[in-house]
Structure 1
Amino acid sequence: MLSTFAEITNDMVYDMAIVAKVCVRPLLRRVLDRTTGVEEVVPIPCGSTLESVCPSCAHKARVLRMHQCAEGWHLGSEPERDSEIDHDQHEDADADDQGKDSDSDRRVRSTRRRPDVVDLPRVPADDRTIGRTFCSRDGQQYRPSMFLTLTLPSYGPITDGVPSQPDSYNYWRAAMDALLFPKLVDRFWQNLRRCAGYKVQYFAAIEPQQRLAPHLHAAIRGAIPRHRLRQVIKATYVQVWWPPCDRPVYMHRTPVWDGSGYIDADTGKALPTWEEAVDALVDDSEAKPAHVMRFGTQADIRGIIAPSEEADRAIRYLTKYLTKAIAEPIVDSTAAARDAHIDRLHDQLRWLPCSERCANWLRYGVQPQNPTPGMRAGHCPSKAHDREHLGVGGRRVLVSRHWSGKTLAEHKADRATVVRETLHAAGIVPPEVERLSADVTAPDGLPRYVWTDTRPGSPGEYRKIIFAAIQQRRAWQQQYDAAKAATDPVENHSASDHGGTDAGPAP
């Protein structure tokens, strides 16, 4: 037992904060209560979703996502839907071959599909988002759903997660597929909704395989025949009509800004604008897309019935890597080979364009869409180019609009409400909902609490603030445990019910 606070080291406070699920790198704010004249320093959780940054905040974010996934997966009734246009339904976008409207300069897409892919089945769609109910021989009703895993194709032989033949491994294609993976996933959901017979809803997470290629895990509400799912996977593709980006034009020199656009520094000739470069593709009957991507042949399709331990395991697995970076460091016998693999992939990702507005287009002799001064190839601000993200620059969690009928903030509020109601039922007064809120007013009508930025005066002060937050968290946890024991709630072992008072008010 430590006799004084001075004996507690930074490492000890860090470890205690992780155990208590308290943020280890909070933002500090000074709050003045104008009514009482009391001023205090309040730690605000950083909210990071990466375990390497803040294990406590990452854990809370994952638990919230688990709760969101579980609530929408096996709904028995339709969630609330907007009376306006269903934005969750994408417009038909099979077309990928660009053309020009004869009556205007507007680019249009034809409806031709590639001849080397199978056709999509067409199924009449019901206006529903929940799955059908089935009845077993013993008269029991159940509503099955599905768990789906989609992968990308091979780019070369892999051994222990790294290429066995790095020189022949197709890093260019691997990088392009990683950058454009969200487009392929989006196209898959579009196609599946046309073929499933209802408005498919999903909760999906993008995660890295051991070889660092992104893949998708998805919880799908309702059951879809496996042969139809495989047909949709096989028929889904994306072809990107960009200017060629496989051979750099400028490797040792850089185009310069002349006030209205980018020019070749040696010749003074203006680089083609984005519109001019794409128009050239439209007018060229022999032009080919810059990149065509499909899913790999490996796809895992499983039926899931809830409530069940299998459903809980699937939710835990679905959210397992959300707290990890794509290029998470590892320490084993393959660490050096893995780092070399990451370096080679990152070298491609740094210079390839991530979108029409990417500064990397200057490297390929084309001005990006809506160019601005100061653009430099290899310095696009999108995090997709970072070594940490390896092409996955967007959201890691994809949730359809009518999954649960609630936003993530509403799910968080629901969990907090459960905690507060449990405390009330046991006769325990929980912390005020509007505690230190900037919306609370004093008798003069002005805000009662005034928030200002501050910094700790010393490392010891910062340690003391975190230690106080740990003590407060422990007190709340003890109150909540006592309240549950007093009210004797029904035991619930669902995958989303982990984390204690994570649902409650945070210090």
Structure 2
Amino acid sequence: MTSQQLKPVAPSGITGSRAERARMPLARKVLEESAIKHGVCIRPVPLRRVDLATGEEQIIDIPCGATLSSVCPPCAEAKRQLRIDQCRTGWHLEQEPDFTPDPATDEQHLLVQLRSQAQKSLDDSDDSEVAEWEETVSEINTELAATGVRGRLGVEKAARRVRSTRRRQDASELPRRPVSTRTVGKVYESASGKKFRPSMFLTLTLDSYGRVTKDGTPVQPAAYDYQRAARDAIHFAKLVDRFVQNLRRFVGFDVQYFAAVEPQRRLAPHLHMAIRGTISRAELREVIAATYHQVWWPPTDEPVYVDQLPEWHDGTGAYVDATTGEILPTWDQALDEIGPDDEPSHVARFGRQFDAQGVLAGTKDANRTIGYLAKYVTKSVDECHEAATDDQRDHVSRLVEALRYEPCSPTCANWLRYGVQPKNPRPGLHPGACRGKAHKPTHLGYGGRRVLVSRKWSGKTLTDHKTDRKNWVTEILGVEPQMPTPGRFSFEYVSRDDAKLKPLTVRLMHRIADRVTWRAQLDAARNGPRSPADLSATAGRSS
């Protein structure tokens, strides 16, 4: 068959050359697709690196670090692989992770001594010297933090508002046991003498707001409780935190978890959680039934201002009633009005249905559930289940509208609608225009983190896991990892108008070429596992 026979036939009224050209892919688009195929960031950030020893300047590209595949697929996939690595490493640990603090260095002891002297001088100084000593204290705190010390010295904790801890009458009692420091699961022995240490995969959902169809849309939209759905979504992160606290107190050991939050088809957030160790379903059922989160906020059932909103008054630095000029109650004053006999503005609870599965390390179930936990971490909340029908789009619109005037935090501008000044007020706040994540259609009410990891999960930070992956590559290639000399280089952003900055297409081509060369070297040098995912079976790492 000749090349002439392979040419497409042009539609009537269009010449062959125009039709062929219309079907040609754009070079820029092909380049971007090739960069994605080779794992090259398509939105690199140019930095000017200056060698302070030699004065040499060089423009380098660093990955944008996006976590959403809709923004930059290669960077989002790299983040997802790190989360997979983190989940797999900590899920079936057989030894307690070591969190023994490193001993303090001589430099840190010296800085603490200087900090102590500066604090005493600050406390004993008169008004004319206070500003100078405060600056000195701040500088020493910065130097101390740069040496790797956690926390700050001399910082007073804000007064904490305490509510009654008496359990609600409509919630079951939850016995409390002393919590041991153990974080790994128990070892079990089968009848044949084989020992194993199982863990768990748990799924929690919220309560029902009304009957829904298979596509997640309400059977009766007018009867669907969108207000409660909106409030549950806003406070879902707090409810999860309360569940973990109750679980640890009930089972008696320091439960460690790796969890991912995603929406169901009905758009309500639910939780997938990998738990180290096993907990019986009966115990889980008790903890879920006894877990709730009370929201002690000013009432928001009826708006106080709809047409004429409060106005900012420069003289008082507060919002006032536009008609009377009266200053609106502050956030603390509004909380003080909540009496001991009042009910919370909202109570969030999980639904009765939950799913719990036992999982063994190295099995297909473990790999499947880890992949499921990381399935949606590169997508925004609204992208997990995209609306495809008019009913689904209407369901999304109704929920977004319910979230529009619902306060999402103490600093939310919507409090002005209910006659209360937000915490830390400032001019320019308008109800219905809060910039909090919970109000954005892409978040559907959930403003918390999508991935929740306990502190003692793997004994490593994400940076540690990233370093492990780099070390795996350098080990395969047989090269020594290069440690940069601290303070040798300075960095600054490069403007798009900089004459020395090459066009993005050229920079992407350079990165693709480097990536192809690197991959060829890696494939040629690799004699062990095919990828970090294979190596993880024996060393706890994955690609």
Indicate the residue corresponding to 2:426 in structure 1. 372
**Greater share of residues in helix:** 2
Of 528, 531, 534 in structure 2, the residue corresponding to residue 488 of structure 1 is 528
Indicate the residue corresponding to 2:17 in structure 1. none
Indicate the residue corresponding to 1:444 in structure 2. none
Percent of aligned positions that are identical:
50
Correspondence 1:231 to 2:286:
yes
Indicate the residue corresponding to 1:244 in structure 2. 299
Structure 1 residues 194-203 or 451-460, which shifts more?
A: 451-460
Residue by residue over 1:405-424, the C-alpha shift from the partner in whole angstroms, topping out at 9 and shown as x without a partner, is 11111111111111111211
How far the C-alpha of 1:305 sits from its partner, in A, is: 0.8
Indicate the residue corresponding to 2:391 in structure 1. 337
Contact 1:66/1:495 (<8 A) preserved:
no
How far the C-alpha of 1:300 sits from its partner, in A, is: 0.7
Q: What secondary structure does 1:298 align onto?
A: strand
Structure-2 change in CA distance of 1:48 and 1:335 (3 Å)? farther
Indicate the residue corresponding to 1:260 in structure 2. 317
Q: Number of aligned pairs?
A: 457
Residue by residue over 1:289-313, the C-alpha shift from the partner in whole angstroms, topping out at 9 and shown as x without a partner, is 1101100122110111102111011
Residue by residue over 1:11-60, the C-alpha shift from the partner in whole angstroms, topping out at 9 and shown as x without a partner, is 10111111111111111224455777765432221111111111111100
Indicate the residue corresponding to 2:474 in structure 1. 420
Structure-2 change in CA distance of 1:403 and 1:107 (3 Å)? closer
Indicate the residue corresponding to 2:350 in structure 1. 295
Of 268, 275, 278 in structure 1, the residue corresponding to residue 335 of structure 2 is 278
Correspondence 1:468 to 2:468:
no
Q: Distance in 2 between matches of 1:502 and 1:224?
A: 27
Q: What secondary structure does 2:46 align onto?
A: strand
How far the C-alpha of 1:329 sits from its partner, in A, is: 7.7
Correspondence 1:453 to 2:510:
no
Q: Distance in 1 between matches of 2:507 and 2:530?
A: 36
Indicate the residue corresponding to 1:386 in structure 2. 440
Q: TM-score w.r.t. structure 2 length?
A: 0.78
How far the C-alpha of 1:454 sits from its partner, in A, is: 3.1
Indicate the residue corresponding to 1:102 in structure 2. none
> Match of 2:44, as an amino acid?
P
Contact 1:29/1:41 (<8 A) preserved:
yes
Indicate the residue corresponding to 2:227 in structure 1. 172
Structure-2 change in CA distance of 1:17 and 1:115 (3 Å)? same
Contact 1:68/1:411 (<8 A) preserved:
yes
What are structure 1's unaligned runs of at least 5 residues? Answer: 1-6, 85-104, 442-446
Indicate the residue corresponding to 2:202 in structure 1. 148
Structure-2 change in CA distance of 1:246 and 1:238 (3 Å)? same
Contact 2:376/2:384 (<8 A) preserved:
no
Indicate the residue corresponding to 1:94 in structure 2. none
How far the C-alpha of 1:175 sits from its partner, in A, is: 0.6
Q: What secondary structure does 1:233 align onto?
A: helix
Structure-2 change in CA distance of 1:82 and 1:360 (3 Å)? farther
Indicate the residue corresponding to 1:190 in structure 2. 245
Contact 1:143/1:222 (<8 A) preserved:
yes
How far the C-alpha of 1:177 sits from its partner, in A, is: 0.5
How far the C-alpha of 1:116 sits from its partner, in A, is: 1.1
Indicate the residue corresponding to 2:261 in structure 1. 206
Q: Distance in 1 between matches of 2:389 and 2:27?
A: 32
What are structure 2's unaligned runs of at least 5 residues? Answer: 1-24, 103-158
Structure 1 residues 68-77 or 461-470, which shifts more?
A: 461-470
CA RMSD of aligned residues (A): 2.8
Q: Distance in 2 between matches of 1:53 and 1:452?
A: 20
Q: Distance in 1 between matches of 2:283 and 2:529?
A: 43
Q: Please give the residue correspondences for 1:353-372 in structure 2 after superposition, counting only pairs within 5 Å.
A: 353-372=407-426
How far the C-alpha of 1:109 sits from its partner, in A, is: 2.4
Structure 1 residues 122-131 or 287-296, which shifts more?
A: 122-131
Residue by residue over 1:139-159, the C-alpha shift from the partner in whole angstroms, topping out at 9 and shown as x without a partner, is 211111100011111112212
Residue by residue over 1:112-146, the C-alpha shift from the partner in whole angstroms, topping out at 9 and shown as x without a partner, is 21111111133343321111111112221111110
> Match of 1:144, as an amino acid?
P
Q: Distance in 2 between matches of 1:119 and 1:281?
A: 25
Q: What secondary structure does 2:78 align onto?
A: helix
Q: Distance in 2 between matches of 1:418 and 1:226?
A: 40
Q: Distance in 2 between matches of 1:26 and 1:348?
A: 38
Residue by residue over 1:161-184, the C-alpha shift from the partner in whole angstroms, topping out at 9 and shown as x without a partner, is 222322211111111001000110
Of 53, 66, 76 in structure 1, the residue corresponding to residue 84 of structure 2 is 66
Q: TM-score w.r.t. structure 1 length?
A: 0.83
Structure 1 residues 20-29 or 173-182, which shifts more?
A: 20-29
Q: What secondary structure does 2:382 align onto?
A: coil
Structure-2 change in CA distance of 1:477 and 1:430 (3 Å)? farther
Contact 2:210/2:224 (<8 A) preserved:
yes
Indicate the residue corresponding to 1:125 in structure 2. 179
Indicate the residue corresponding to 1:108 in structure 2. 162
Contact 2:85/2:542 (<8 A) preserved:
no
Q: Distance in 2 between matches of 1:464 and 1:400?
A: 43
Structure-2 change in CA distance of 1:468 and 1:193 (3 Å)? same
Q: Distance in 1 between matches of 2:482 and 2:274?
A: 37
Indicate the residue corresponding to 1:23 in structure 2. 41
Structure-2 change in CA distance of 1:216 and 1:168 (3 Å)? same
Residue by residue over 1:453-504, the C-alpha shift from the partner in whole angstroms, topping out at 9 and shown as x without a partner, is 13278999211111211111121122222222xx33488756979xxx997x
How far the C-alpha of 1:82 sits from its partner, in A, is: 4.7
Structure 1 residues 55-64 or 360-369, which shifts more?
A: 360-369
Bigger Rg, structure 1 or 2: 2
Residue by residue over 1:69-115, the C-alpha shift from the partner in whole angstroms, topping out at 9 and shown as x without a partner, is 1100110000012569xxxxxxxxxxxxxxxxxxxx98532232111
